[in-house]
């Protein structure tokens, strides 16, 4: 019997680390987008460089896709453990395809990638054969695919390039011969001119557009992608990139860079952030701009290093001793990651406060095509002044913001002190000055609140049930609700989680029933939102096994949540 898949295909590649999942994914992402398909991929890995089982989900679709699905239409296992690794995601509906000799799964369709590759000249071409096979199933243009392969390996010898071309065509032929499935996905021109990015890429491009010229970090999964991207940009742009001895050094170095007039950026995960908290408090005291990207992974302690969670909101919200204003942004889409990273720099510099971009492993390791990002026409406002001889770094003003000078630019002296200080930046133990400085810093919270990014409300205008989410869960919640098509339900996504936008209360008040979705165990944002708005939120949908929500899981849990509310 032939199964038909219309418009939306979910492929999963699974195998050992180092077996080539990433190279197949990379070929497919570039070529399928070029062929006019919408493309999405997300990867999950074990915390090891070789062995184990990792998998990459690929969605190829006639329409824009950006959410994780549990369903697997087509599974390409690269070793024997792969099928078991995916557990109940593999159903009777899943078509399993690949090297039967290696995978040894009874009901799979045998496409001997390795043997075909060997016939071409070497087992090394097996990944190209697999990519060709998928393209054959999708019925893309074979010749275009073959020449794409040839170009893809442009750094290799002519012979290797030619062999890859050949391997692709053989795989393609094997794909077209498969009769068990018929895939019908409509290509269009839209994806062709779009960019294909990961969450890490979108954050990094945002920092680049914001004029980031100093990047320092200490490698830590899943935040390292941004550090490496900035290092790559430093080959072509004026950016100092330094790997520091530890996260304590990172935060203090970044603050030194801001003090000297650079736009510094830092990337880390929860454990690294924990080490930085004293420095973040220093940013609060010396009223320094500071921008940090935190890609969350499950804790406590080392936790699950390569998995995902939204468990560090409380850490970022409260990390750092003493009272000082801060802003926390949590993008839900690649576009938001790009614009909000720029916004983080703008707010940090305008208000001289720390600004945090909160993502997670799922978000940074997920890629899809999006329309080309625009670039700001004028360079960002630096909010730096040339100082005069009687310059005072912490001059008391109505807004709480003191004009910011930097050393060496003007005739004034720029004094920053981690102690409580007077207007000139010198140490003070005057209680009167202490009170004035506390109030000065506090004023900036109100200003940040006034500039807060409002949450996005979508769905029914006259909603009875309101589904709340923040950060990376946005596409899954949206797709689940779209599929459920329930009347009277709306969705509210927060891409700024602190200060909690003032308009949130009015939106929450209108609902009879509020359901909050979070990828953590203690509903950190739900508690914050309830405290800030004074509106109790009793129904939560939480997930804390280290994996992202899938559309299917959310659809099921949201559906029962909505019923319960009635």
Partner 1 sequence: MANQYDFEHKPDIAWCPGCGDFMIRKALLSALDELNLEREKVVLVSGIGQAAKMPQYVNTSFFNGLHGRGLPPATAIKACNPELTVIAVGGDGDMYGEGGNHFLHVTRRNPDMTLFVHDNMVYGLTKGQGAPTSRPGMETPVQVFGVFEKPVNPMALAISLDVTFVARVFCGDIEQTKEIMKRAIRHKGFALVDIFQPCVSFNKINTLAWFKENTYYLDDGWDPSDRAASFAKALEEEPFPLGVLYESDHRSTFEENLSVYKKDRTPLYRRSRDSAAVAAEIRAKV
Element (H, E) at 360: strand 354-360
The gap between the terminal CA atoms of the chain, to the nearest Å, is 42
Q: Indicate the residue among 238 and 323 with the shorter CB distance to partner 1.
A: 238
Residue from 112, 256, 303, 403 touching partner 1 (CB under 8 A): that is 256
- Of the candidate spans 20-28, 132-140, 212-220, 358-366, the one that interacts with partner 1 by CB under 8 A turns out to be 212-220
In the list 45, 113, 125, 233, the residue contacting partner 1 (rule: CB under 8 A) is: 233
Interface residue with partner 1 among 217, 272, 279, 501 (CB under 8 A) is 279
CA angle 191, 194, 197 (to 5 degrees): 110
Whole-number minimum distance, CB 525 to partner 1, in Å?
A: 30
State which H helix or E strand residue 362 sits in: helix 361-364
208 part of the interface to partner 1, by CB under 8 A: yes
Retrieve residue 447's tokens.
């200003």
Q: Does 196 bind partner 1 (CB under 8 A)?
A: yes
Candidates 276, 212, 203, 225; CA nearest to 246 is 276
Q: Is 97 in the site for partner 1 (CB under 8 A)?
A: no
Using rule CB under 8 A, residue 190 touches partner 1: no
The region of 101-109, 178-186, 376-384, 553-561 touching partner 1 under the rule CB under 8 A is 376-384
Task: Give the binding range for partner 1 (CB under 8 A) out of 71-79, 85-93, 153-161, 190-198.
Answer: 190-198
Q: At what angle do helices 474-484 and 551-565 cross, to 10 degrees?
A: 60
Tell me which residue of 229, 269, 231, 225 sits closest to 247, measured CA to CA. 269
Q: Is 211 in the site for partner 1 (CB under 8 A)?
A: yes
Structure tokens at 211: 């004029």
167 binds partner 1 (CB under 8 A): no
Residue 135 class from Cβ within 10 Å (0-12 exposed, 13-18 middle, 19+ buried)? buried
CB 206 within 8 A of CB 364: no
Interaction of residue 264 with partner 1, rule CB under 8 A: yes
Of residues 21, 227, 230, 254, which one binds partner 1 by CB under 8 A?
254
Closer residue to partner 1 in complex, CB, 244/457: 244
C-beta of residue 519 within 8 angstroms of C-beta of residue 308: yes
Nearer to partner 1, 277 or 516 (CB): 277
Of 316 and 406, CB closest to partner 1 = 406
Number of residues that bind partner 1 (CB under 8 A): 68
**What gap in Å lies between CA 217 and CA 226, rounded to an integer?**
10
CB of 189 to partner 1, least distance (A): 13
SS3 of residue 178 by DSSP: coil
| CA torsion angle 301 306 309 313 (round to 10) | 50
**Identity of the residue, 409 or 544, whose beta carbon is nearer to partner 1 in the bound complex:** 409
Residue (254 or 523) nearer to partner 1, CB: 254
Residues of span 388-427 touching partner 1 by CB under 8 A: 406-419, 425-427
Binding-site member from 162, 278, 314, 532 for partner 1 (CB under 8 A): 278
Region near partner 1 per CB under 8 A, out of 68-76, 93-101, 123-131, 236-244? 236-244
Cβ at position 44, least distance to partner 1 in Å:
23
Question: Which of 11, 253 has the CB closer to partner 1?
Answer: 253
Query: Binding residue for partner 1 (CB under 8 A) from 1, 49, 372, 431?
Result: 372
Q: Determine if the peptide bond prior to 294 is cis (ω within 30°).
A: no
Give the nearer residue to partner 1 in terms of CB position, either 177 or 427: 427
Q: Which residues are CB-neighbours of 92 under 8 A, at least 6 positions away?
A: none
- Select from 367, 366, 299 the least CA-distant residue to 546: 299
Angle at which helix 247-259 crosses helix 270-285, to 10 degrees, equals 30
75 binds partner 1 (CB under 8 A): no
Select from 10, 6, 7 the least CA-distant residue to 550: 10
Tell me the DSSP string of 493-535: EESEEESPPTTHHHHHHT-SEEEEEESSSS-HHHHHHHHHH--
The answer to whether the CB of 72 falls within 8 A of the CB of 86 is yes
Secondary structure of residue 202 in the 3-state scheme: helix
d(CA 293, CA 271): 13
Q: How far is the CB of 201 from partner 1 (least distance, A)?
A: 7
CB of 320 to partner 1, least distance (A): 12
Least distance to partner 1, CB of residue 364, Å? 15
220 lies in the site for partner 1, by CB under 8 A: no
Dihedral (CA of 188, 189, 192, 196) sign: negative
Instruction: Compare residues 417 and 556 and give the one whose CB is closer to partner 1.
Output: 417
Determine which residue in the list 52, 121, 249, 303 makes contact with partner 1, applying CB under 8 A.
249
Give the interface with partner 1 as residue ranges (CB under 8 A).
193-197, 201, 205, 208-209, 211, 213-214, 216, 233-240, 242, 244-246, 248-250, 252-257, 259-262, 264, 278-279, 282, 286, 372-373, 375-377, 379, 382, 384, 406-419, 425-427
């Amino acid at each position: 019997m032939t199964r038909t898949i219309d418009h939306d295909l979910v492929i999963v590649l699974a195998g050992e680390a180092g077996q080539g999942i990433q190279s197949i994914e990379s070929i497919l992402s570039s070529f399928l987008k070029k062929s006019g398909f919408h493309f999405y991929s997300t990867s999950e890995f074990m915390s090891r460089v070789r062995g184990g089982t990792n998998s990459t989900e690929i969605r190829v679709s006639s329409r824009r896709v950006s959410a994780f699905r549990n369903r697997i239409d087509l599974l390409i296992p690269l070793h024997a453990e792969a099928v078991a690794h995916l557990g109940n995601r593999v159903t009777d509906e899943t078509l399993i395809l690949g090297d039967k000799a290696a995978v040894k799964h009874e009901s799979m369709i045998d496409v001997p990638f390795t043997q075909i590759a060997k016939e071409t000249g070497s087992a090394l071409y097996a990944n190209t054969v697999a990519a060709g096979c998928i393209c054959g199933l999708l019925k893309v243009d074979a010749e275009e695919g073959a020449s794409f392969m040839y170009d893809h390996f442009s750094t290799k010898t002519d012979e290797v390039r030619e062999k890859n071309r050949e391997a692709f065509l053989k795989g393609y032929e094997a794909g077209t011969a498969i009769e068990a499935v018929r895939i019908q996905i409509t290509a269009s021109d839209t994806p062709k001119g779009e960019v294909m990015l990961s969450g890490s890429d979108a954050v990094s491009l945002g920092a680049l557009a914001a004029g980031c010229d100093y990047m320092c970090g200490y490698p830590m999964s899943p935040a390292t992608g941004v550090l490496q991207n900035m290092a790559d940009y430093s080959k072509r742009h004026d950016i100092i990139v330094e790997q520091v001895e530890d996260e304590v050094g990172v935060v203090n170095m970044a603050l030194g860079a801001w003090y000297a007039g650079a736009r510094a950026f830092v990337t880390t995960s929860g454990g690294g952030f924990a080490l930085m908290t004293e420095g973040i408090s220093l940013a609060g005291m010396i009223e320094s701009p500071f921008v940090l990207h935190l890609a969350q992974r499950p804790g406590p302690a080392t936790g699950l290093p390569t998995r995902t969670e939204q468990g560090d909101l409380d850490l970022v919200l409260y990390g750092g001793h003493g009272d000082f204003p801060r802003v926390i942004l949590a993008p839900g889409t690649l576009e938001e990651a790009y614009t909000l990273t720029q916004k983080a720099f703008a707010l940090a510099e305008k208000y001289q406060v720390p600004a945090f971009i909160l993502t997670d492993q799922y978000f940074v390791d997920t890629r899809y095509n999006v329309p080309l990002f625009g670039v700001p026409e004028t360079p960002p406002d630096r909010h730096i002044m040339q100082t005069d001889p009687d310059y005072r770094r912490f001059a008391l003003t109505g807004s709480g913001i003191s004009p910011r000078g930097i050393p060496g630019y003007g005739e004034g002296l720029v004094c920053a002190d981690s102690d409580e200080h007077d207007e000139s930046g010198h140490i003070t133990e005057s209680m009167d000055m202490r009170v004035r400085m506390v109030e000065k810093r506090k004023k900036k919270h109100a200003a940040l609140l006034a500039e807060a990014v409002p949450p996005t409300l979508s769905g029914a205008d006259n909603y009875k049930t309101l589904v709340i989410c923040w950060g990376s869960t946005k596409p899954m919640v949206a797709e689940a609700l779209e599929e459920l098509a329930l009347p009277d339900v709306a969705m509210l996504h927060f891409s700024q989680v602190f200060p909690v936008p003032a308009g949130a209360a009015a939106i929450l008040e209108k609902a009879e029933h509020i359901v909050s979705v979070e990828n953590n165990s203690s509903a950190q944002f739900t508690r914050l939102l309830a405290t800030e708005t004074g509106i109790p939120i009793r129904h939560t949908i939480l997930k804390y096994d280290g994996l992202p929500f899938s559309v299917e899981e959310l659809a099921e849990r949201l559906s029962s949540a909505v019923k319960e509310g009635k």
